[in-house]
Structure 1
Amino acid sequence: MSYPIPQWRVVLDGTDLTERIAPRLRDLTLTECRGGDADQLDLSIHDHDGKMALPKRGVRLSVALGWKATGLIDKGTFIVDEVEYSGAPDIITVRARSADLTADMRTRRERSWHNTTLGAVLNALAGEHGLTPRVADALARTKLPHLDQANESDMNLLTRLGQRFDAVATVKAGALVFAPIGAGTTATGKPLPTVTLTRRDGDQHRYSVADRDAYTGVRAYWVDKGKARRQSVLVGTDDNANRLRESYADEATARQHAHAELERVKRGIAKFDYTLAIGRADLFPEQTVKVSGFKPEIDGQRWLIAKTTHTVSGSSGFSTSLELETAA
């Protein structure tokens, strides 16, 4: 019986280090997030003979993962921002984050937009950082009467807008991506394929469902300056409504936040974590998943990948862990 052989590649500033570090590999972990948090690469290698140099912060690491039978899948480029040297036995651990999140994107700024659209703001952000805007049409047309960026980085602003509109808001592969969570499409409207997984594909799983956050609606508040009083807007029903603490500038903004929060509540009622025995480098956040071989409540649910963790170990091969939440 033949077993699949994992394959991987690590390139440091254009130099392929794969063969050199393969005998020393302790583990390589790539965590891919939906938005807000940067994708992260953790690489740990043995340095028992002291022959490995510590990499400098700021260098670029490119990573590809896969299997010898099917080939490699490019998983992006990362910038080293943490290096750790520990022992005994001596181990070098390198942590790197998505290269698209530049220092300039984390620089705090002061500015405002007036009588514009969400698409115009996101296109401006993309242009300032040399990124290609990938903004879903339905969101791009949303009117923004006023938007402040007060002592806030462009990345934080992008994340905040993503929370306001319940959207994937991230920077990957040279593009600024802004698209509805769970839409099943890319920002350009191209459908994402549904992934089918069976119980035989994995070796660990955990399902949880809870009523404590099963709100029927969300109520948000806004200040009516003309009447000098606080008003509210309800999305969903008031049977068991969650109330947002913050007061917003106008009714439209309050409604947007209430709608986004209700969508997050719906997705979070049930969660399913699944570790695949044979790693799948082709899986990434926002893909929809259909599973079989579990309980009816699990098999009958459409799932959405919220987070992927790909791990290559020197001792146990290549596996992929999925954090799934309910899809609408």
Structure 2
Amino acid sequence: MAYIDSGNMPWQPNFSLSVEGEDITDIVRENLVNLTLKDHGAGSKKSDEITFSVVSATLKLPAKGVKISVALGFGGELVNKGTFVVDARSSGQASGGQRIVEITARAFSKTNERGHSTLQSQKTRSFSDITLGDFMLTLASEHGLTARVDSRLVNVPVEHIDQLGESDMNLVTRIAGECGAVSKITHDYWVLSPRDSDTTISGKPLPVRTLTPDMCEQWRYHDNSDHPDVSAKGSGTMIIPYIDSADGGKQKMLTVGSGEPVFHYPTPQPSLKDAQYVAGGSTKHVEKKLRGMSLTLTGTPALMGMTAEGKITTEGFGRVEDRDWKISRVEFRLQSKGLIISVELE
């Protein structure tokens, strides 16, 4: 069984791990088999997670709900990747009869032990005359989370929200989609940001990294041109019902796009403005899914700061492939052959 060669020399991939503040890096380093960190974009319903496997006769399996902090990088230059909640652990016999331990921890854990299991509980209630900022503050505080809402969304008014047998997680995902935004629970924060944001939650411009073919072990571009795009003429139609209070509360329809296929949005919106939010968020989301790139990179110190939702420019791949992208998913894999980074772009 091959172990990972890591350390403090500048050319060596390196990491740090701590459990509830107790550093276990040296214990894990000696017989580490693999370490993988997955960072998903806010549009995904998947949680960021870290998984690592280590051969050890004495390493104690951590309790579910325990928090693990991780940093990755090279030599003494490590980038903090956040704190994760232990969600799964296992042990067994590796080749040669040795004991191997595997631990998975997630930024959003559904475990009852200090996780976020209550987010899945269904509720029935209503919210009226509230801003998105206050709405997120209310829901986040109910689950021991801190709301982080983009400044462009904080004061967006919401006339009325009905939560009918719906979990808070689904509710926020739905409302975010209607407003052209995305939500994500990560590292004790509940984040709400515009889908096409070029800035961080604090308002700072997102750094743009340039990737070239010589940085890649392999890459692939795809264009799903047969996917319906309601933002293009003749490429699909979206019909959204809404209530026109100025016309006696009659239900009317907002039609966006043209041609087939035709999509009927299931939930009537309380106003034309709300229907337009739905249309804007949906068409932008579909448009961004039309094209994508997958790249496998050899890890370098300059790439360690990459995160989902970050900005990428590709150069030298081809006339069609070279463009600006957003990272929808990034995965760091520390293996016996080194540090490998897989990036999904949209």
TM-score normalised by the chain length of structure 1 = 0.87
Post-superposition CA distance 1:53-84 (Å, at most 9, x none):
32221111110000016x01110111111112
Cα distance change, pair 258–242 in 1 and its aligned pair in 2 (3 A): farther
User: Which of 75, 85, 109 in structure 2 is aligned with 1:79?
Assistant: 85
User: Are 1:261 and 2:261 an aligned pair?
Assistant: no
Partner SS, residue 46 of structure 2: coil
Given the alignment of the two structures, is residue 167 of structure 1 paired with residue 181 of structure 2, yes or no?
yes
| 1:200 correspondence with 2:214 | yes
User: 1:305 maps to what in 2?
Assistant: 327
Rate the CA distance shift 1:25–1:244 in 2: closer, same or farther, 3 A. farther
Q: CA deviation at 1:286?
A: 1.4
Q: Matched residues in 2 for 1:121 and 1:240: separation?
A: 36
| Counterpart code for 1:80 | V
1:119 matched to which residue of 2? Answer: 133
Residue 209 (1) aligns with residue 223 (2) = yes
Unaligned runs of 5+ in 2: 1-8, 110-114, 232-236
1:304: how far off?
0.5
* Residues 38/249 of structure 1: CA separation in 2 closer, same or farther (3 Å cut): same
| 1:267-286 pair list within 5 angstroms | 267-279=288-300, 280-286=303-309
The one-letter amino acid of 1:203's match is E
Q: Could you tell me which runs of 5 or more consecutive residues in structure 1 were left unpaired when the two chains were aligned.
A: none
CA contact (8 A) 2:242 2:275 kept: no
RMSD in angstroms over aligned alpha carbons? 2.5
- The answer for the alignment partner of 2:62 in structure 1 is 55
8 Å contact 2:11–2:75 — kept in the other structure?
yes
Q: How do 1:1-328 and structure 2 match up within 5 A?
A: 4-35=11-42, 36-47=45-56, 50-68=57-75, 71-89=77-95, 90-98=99-107, 102-217=116-231, 218-222=237-241, 224=243, 231-235=252-256, 237-240=257-260, 242-250=262-270, 251-279=272-300, 280-299=303-322, 301-313=323-335, 315-325=336-346
Contact 1:158 1:170 in 2 (8 A): no
**1:194: how far off?**
0.8
* 1:224-266 CA-partner distances (Å, limit 9, x unpaired): 587797632123x314564134142434333322221110111
User: SS at the partner of 1:294?
Assistant: coil
Distance in 2 of aligned mates of 1:24 and 1:160: 44
| CA gap 1:127/1:54 in 2 versus in 1, 3 angstroms | closer
Equivalent residues of 2:241, 2:265 under 8 A apart: no
Change (3 A) 1:228 1:132: closer
TM-score where L is the length of structure 2: 0.83
Please say if residues 219 and 232 of structure 1, whose CA atoms lie closer than 8 Å, have aligned partners that are also in contact: no
One-letter amino acid of the structure 1 residue matched with residue 68 of structure 2: L
1:3-40: CA deviation from partner (whole Å, max 9, x where unpaired): 82101011112221111111221111111112233211
**Equivalent residues, number:** 318
Contact 1:116 1:143 in 2 (8 A): yes
The code of the aligned residue for 1:169 comes to S
> What CA distance in whole angstroms lies between the structure 2 residues aligned with 1:286 and 1:88?
37
How far has the Cα of 1:106 moved from its partner?
A: 4.0
* Paired residues of 1:181 and 1:286 also in contact (CA < 8 A): no
Shift of 1:43: 1.2
Q: Contact 1:182/1:286 (CA < 8 Å) preserved in 2?
A: no
